[in-house]
A = this chain, B = another copy of it.
Amino acid sequence: MISEPGPQRPVIRVGIAGLGTATKAMLPAFLKHPGIRITAAASLDEEQLRQFHADFAAETYPSVERMCLSPEVDAVYIATPTPFHTEHVLLAASAKKHIILEKPIATSLEEALRMVTAAEAGGVTMVVGHSHSFDPPILKMREVLESGIIGKFTMAHTWCYTDWMYRPRLREELRTELGGGVTFRQGAHQFDIIRLLGGGKVRSIRASAGAWDPKRPTEGSHVVFFDFEDGASATAVYNGYDHFHTTEWTSNIGEWGERVTAGAYASNRKTIRAMSSSQEQALKSSRSGYNGKSSMKYADRDVQQPFFGLTIVSGERGDIRQTPEGLMVYGEEGVEHLKLPQDVNGRDKVVEEFYEAVIQGKRPVHDGRWGLANLEICLAALKSSQEKKEIVLSHQVPLK
């Protein structure tokens, strides 16, 4: 999909705001794209900036504000902690820089609306991601639906059972009011996938979320029922308490396409429970953040197509499910196995969507209003669970 570099290919010069986990995961996709050049970075960590400069000969800044003023920067990748998103998007938009904003866009609709409005007023492109709805099998499912071969979209269902609650976590990841818990952090992926498959316009949500471990008092599970405006429906189930894992049902393939090797049962839960909170913070910090070009390897990822849990999609005349190599499409007459290229992943698709929007003027799927609609689902799911009632939505936007 990503075309070869050529002399005429316009280049977007990207400045990176925040050198944490998200950036570490995103950098390979930027470096792979022939139309992107990394020209700057902003961080509070001087050591990281020094390393980054050595690796990329990029400008370095102690603040996002100052980086936004650089004439060497056309676009900003904002991967700072969620509470800083509004401030940084507003800075970038007023400096007329295009924006890739890490999900979640925000934790309140008001903040998200401020960002969307600022980007629109500044006339800049904003793409919100990465989310797993950019994964090639998911984008391909949408393509199959649009082709009409399984008829009108009717249902999508997805289950994801993981150890999310017992991976080393920063404190904010376990506090709902700061955007923590599985509904904000993992539901956001599921809801984005479902909205993409269903065309975006969800009418209402009915949900239930669970917080079953008093020592990690945020949502570790949820069940969400979606009613689309056109009559289609969907469900998303998540359970992050590290017992059964859905990888048992996805050919032992995880969310990055990696082979999951069965270690000792529930070892993450047991390890985390034996740690103090400060030990956990230290462990998480040691694993996070940019620490040199050499640590940025895809390793064995992407050998198979990624599975964000187990998903089944139906149209009036057929169904679609994932396989390790792509999709199985069950049509009216027969079954077709669609294989996907192995060298493209979801983050490549984020960069591709952003590039095509900025350079070719193509409307991005995952723009600010799309991210806002996704956030509305997260908030509605939590509200529905608390109030035990259906929540009718008002910020949903169509895919096209």
> Which A residues have a C-beta under 8 Å from some C-beta of B?
150-151, 154-155, 157, 159, 161, 203-204, 206, 208, 210, 212-213, 221, 223, 225, 227, 231, 233-235, 237, 239, 241, 243-244, 249, 265-266, 310, 312, 314, 316-319, 321, 328, 330-335, 388-390
**Docked-complex contact A331 and B243, CB < 8 angstroms:** yes
Chain A interface main SS type: strand
**Docked-complex contact A312 and B235, CB < 8 angstroms:** no
Number of copies: 2
CA gap between A265 and B318 in the complex, in Å: 12
Q: Which of B161, B221, B243, B330 contacts A243 (CB 8 A)?
A: B330
Chain B positions within 8 Å of A331 at CB level: 243
CA gap between A244 and B314 in the complex, in Å: 9
A–B pairs, 19, beta carbons within 8 Å: A154-B221, A155-B223, A155-B239, A161-B319, A206-B206, A210-B231, A212-B316, A221-B314, A223-B233, A223-B235, A225-B225, A225-B235, A239-B319, A243-B314, A244-B312, A244-B321, A244-B330, A265-B333, A266-B333
Give me 7 other A-B pairs in contact (C-beta within 8 A), A159-B312, A243-B317 excluded.
A157-B159, A206-B227, A210-B231, A235-B235, A243-B318, A243-B319, A249-B249
**Docked-complex contact A223 and B223, CB < 8 angstroms:** no
Chain B positions within 8 Å of A333 at CB level: 265-266
Chain B positions within 8 Å of A332 at CB level: 266
The residue of chain B having its C-beta at the shortest distance from the C-beta of A248 within the complex is B321
**Docked-complex contact B390 and A334, CB < 8 angstroms:** no
Chain B positions within 8 Å of A241 at CB level: 314, 317
Q: Which of B239, B266, B319, B334 contacts A244 (CB 8 A)?
A: B319
Chain B positions within 8 Å of A227 at CB level: 206, 208, 388
**Contacts A235-B235, A244-B312, A314-B243; A210 near B155 (Cβ below 8 A):** yes
CA gap between A335 and B231 in the complex, in Å: 41
**Docked-complex contact A154 and B212, CB < 8 angstroms:** yes
Question: Would you give the shortest CB distance from A241 to chain B, in whole angstroms?
Answer: 8
Chain B positions within 8 Å of A389 at CB level: 390
Question: Would you give the shortest CB distance from A15 to chain B, in whole angstroms?
Answer: 44
Chain B positions within 8 Å of A223 at CB level: 155, 157, 225, 233-235
- Nearest 3 pairs between A and B by C-beta? A244-B319, A208-B233, A243-B330
**Docked-complex contact A334 and B237, CB < 8 angstroms:** no
**Contacts A161-B312, A237-B155; A334 near B208 (Cβ below 8 A):** no
CA gap between A334 and B312 in the complex, in Å: 29
CA gap between A177 and B400 in the complex, in Å: 39
Question: Would you give the shortest CB distance from A111 to chain B, in whole angstroms?
Answer: 30
The residue of chain B having its C-beta at the shortest distance from the C-beta of A154 within the complex is B210
Chain B positions within 8 Å of A154 at CB level: 210, 212, 221
Chain B positions within 8 Å of A330 at CB level: 243-244, 265-266
CA gap between A321 and B249 in the complex, in Å: 11
Chain B positions within 8 Å of A310 at CB level: 249
Question: Would you give the shortest CB distance from A229 to chain B, in whole angstroms?
Answer: 10
The residue of chain B having its C-beta at the shortest distance from the C-beta of A244 within the complex is B319
Question: Would you give the shortest CB distance from A47 to chain B, in whole angstroms?
Answer: 41
The residue of chain B having its C-beta at the shortest distance from the C-beta of A239 within the complex is B314
The residue of chain B having its C-beta at the shortest distance from the C-beta of A225 within the complex is B225
The residue of chain B having its C-beta at the shortest distance from the C-beta of A388 within the complex is B227
CA gap between A150 and B249 in the complex, in Å: 21
**Docked-complex contact B243 and A225, CB < 8 angstroms:** no
